Amino acid sequence: MKKLVSAIISMSLVVFVVAQRTQKPVLHGKHWMAITGKPLGATAGAMIFSQGGNAVDASCAMLAATCTMWDVLSWGGETQALIYNPKTGKVIGINALGVAPTGATAEYYKEQGYKYPPQYGPLAAVTPGTPGGLMTMLAEYGSMSLAEVLAPAMEMAEGYPIEGQTANRIEGSKEHIKKWPYSRDLFLTHPGEDREAPNAGEIFRQPDLLKTLQKLVDAEAEAIEKGKSRKDAIYAAYDRFYKGDIASDFVKGVKEQGGLITKKDLANWQVYIEEPLKTNYKGIEVYKLTSWVQSPVMLQSLNMMENLDVKAMGFNSVKYIHSLYQVMNMTFADRDFYYGDPYFPPEEPLEGLLSKDYAKARLQEINWEKNDPDVKPGNPYEYQDGNNPYLKYIEEWSNTNDESMGKLYMDTQSEFPESPVYTGTTSIQAADEEGWVVSITPSGGWVPAVIAGNTGVGLSQRAQSFVLDESENPYNVIEPGKRPRATLTPTLALKDGKPFLSFAVQGGDSQDQNLLQFFLNMVEFGMNVQEAAEAPNINSFQMRGSFRDHPISPGKLLINEDTPDYVRKKLRDMGYKLDVSERTSGPINAIFFDWENGSFWGGSSNHGEDYGIGW
């Protein structure tokens, strides 16, 4: 505990010069670094490090804590991770995204009157992935027991002082929450009063969730008593969640509220340990997850940007902003049409999409004088084997001018005025002196969530990211057992065969937009990790949104309020419709590896309540 206190105190020793350049200081650490979306979550990671855990153990503790804190996610959501294994020198992908349940077909949702699966409620749910993802990462790459890693989260489930941000989100969502009895009983601690949600600082208790977590720990302990290994004991807890009494209680709670998830759906679901995708940008290997999330869009963008003299353009100049926007027009159009679950046919044309020649060809299509509102997906099949079976859909592709996307962004900023942050997801970054590095972008099951009966587990809302019409994206049409193409996208980068950067951000469709700019901020513009995390970014809305009604708003451009008037005027002359915001960086969290000095540099977003601790 003394080590933990010392680590926390060290964060306050801010160099004055650094504090002038950024709102938050760079975090420095020699032994370990733990960063996530909430101070208590980062503290959970620090506690595990102080007990001798590695970065995987600490990241699992932070994941459990932030889920328990409803940091815009919960235990029924999904987990996406990249892990650098120093023993092999390889980057590993963790696919713990839930799948559409039995009966969740396009025809079913159309019969219910939906254009897309709904935003909220039991029919928005895919199977829970986070419990399985956490236990798989811990069993395969961690060093501690599940009981040790879950201890901070279990103490929080017993009762913790809730933050104003989450409490206000509950209050703002209470009309949804009242539709679902278990959610109402959990979240609305002051029923009938003017404010029915908890107050900031109120001790928020989750007895049902605590019982569920205790069952996992008990399953592990029983397996150990029977002589099972640490790894097998953790998988015994995994089986209890997905195949045992927890699964039965979960399904019962889902069914009675109108959901579709069955016990077979839970038992058949599995975590995939994958080989991630990568590209090389000027000697830096950038790793991303594959097409079941939007991750490859950043790799495509880097393949295009490396053909431009980015540094000569100048940071956030008219030319730089226009170049970024047009490159993202191209790559996000490809995302919207070609990305989907790689474990289901048809096979995504990833070889072509990530071809350097394809990137050069797409770059030639850009109009450098003005925005092109009619950008369509390209034809990556020309750069790999096979013929494109869906050219007819591309020919019919239309970017309907829907102003709701820009409004949707601004609504998320104003819905909870005390917490002007991007909604959805959190990020977790961890590294240790042994060499383990973990980047996670967990999400799903956010407030307002349907609580699955007496399990205390909130259901995911990720089904809304599917489409129902093949012409919109033939690779992402909902069907039972299939993963939706999600937005969640952690990142690792290696240089000279060693970790260089670990970074992630929350924010739905803006994630890879902001991560792309963060990376260029450091590599092209020489910013340090905190400067790059706080630097003003742009956001495009000229793509099909992944939520609600999948809106699109060609030419909509979010810029920072510090953007000079002459830049704004030129952008408007080029066909852009500008939205202006005080902060546009996105809540980026990151770790830079300083091999010259043998230390970590941590960047923790100034966008919300993100927090990091290093030692």
Q: How confident is the model over 169-195, as pLDDT tens digits?
A: 999 999 999 999 999 999 999 999 999
Residues of the chain with pLDDT > 70, as a percent, come to: 93
pLDDT of 505 > 90? The answer is yes
pLDDT at 424: 56
pLDDT at 608: 83
The token duo for 357 is: 């020649």
Give how far Cα 322 sits from Cα of 177, 371, 558, Å: 42, 8, 12
Q: Which of 496, 475, 499, 478 is nearest to 601 (CA)?
A: 499
| Across 243-257, 292-306, 478-492, 600-614, least confident range | 600-614
3-state helix, strand and coil shares in percent for the chain, rounded to the nearest 5 = 40, 15, 45
pLDDT at 404: 44
pLDDT digits (tens, 9 = 90+) for 525-569: 999 999 999 999 999 999 999 998 999 999 999 999 999 999 999
Distance CA 218, CA 272 (A): 25
**Range list of H helices, 159-244:** 164-172, 174-177, 181-187, 207-225, 230-243
558 with 581: CB under 8 angstroms?
yes
| Residue at token pair 């933050």 | 163
pLDDT of 7 > 90? The answer is no
348 with 342: CB under 8 angstroms?
yes
Distance CA 553, CA 565 (A): 23
Pairing type for strands 277-281 and 272-274 reads: unpaired
The token duo for 252 is: 């019962």
What is the DSSP annotation of 331-365?
A: HHHHHHHH---TTSSSPP-HHHHT-HHHHHHHHTT
Give how far Cα 283 sits from Cα of 208, 288, 300, 412, 493, Å: 50, 16, 16, 38, 10
pLDDT digits (tens, 9 = 90+) for 121-157: 999 999 999 999 999 999 999 999 999 999 999 999 9
150 with 213: CB under 8 angstroms?
yes
pLDDT of 116 > 90? The answer is yes
| Across 242-246, 316-320, 401-405, least confident range | 401-405
The token duo for 513 is: 């937009």
pLDDT at 280: 98
State the average pLDDT over residues 483-511: 96
pLDDT at 408: 41
Q: Which of 95, 28, 90 is nearest to 435 (CA)?
A: 90
Assign 3-class secondary structure to 419-446.
CCCCCCCCCEEEEECCCCEEEECCECCC
Backbone angles phi, psi at 257, to 5 degrees: -105, 10
Dihedral sign of CA atoms 299, 301, 306, 311 in order = negative
The token duo for 283 is: 């000697």
pTM: 0.94
Distance CA 615, CA 604 (A): 15
Backbone angles phi, psi at 299, to 5 degrees: -65, -40
Pairing type for strands 203-204 and 272-274 reads: unpaired
309's CB contacts (< 8 A; 6+ apart) are none
pLDDT digits (tens, 9 = 90+) for 198-232: 999 999 999 999 999 999 999 999 999 999 999 99
Split at pLDDT 50, 70, 90, the class of 401 is low
475 with 346: CB under 8 angstroms?
yes
Distance CA 505, CA 167 (A): 22
Distance CA 27, CA 34 (A): 10
State the average pLDDT over residues 475-501: 97
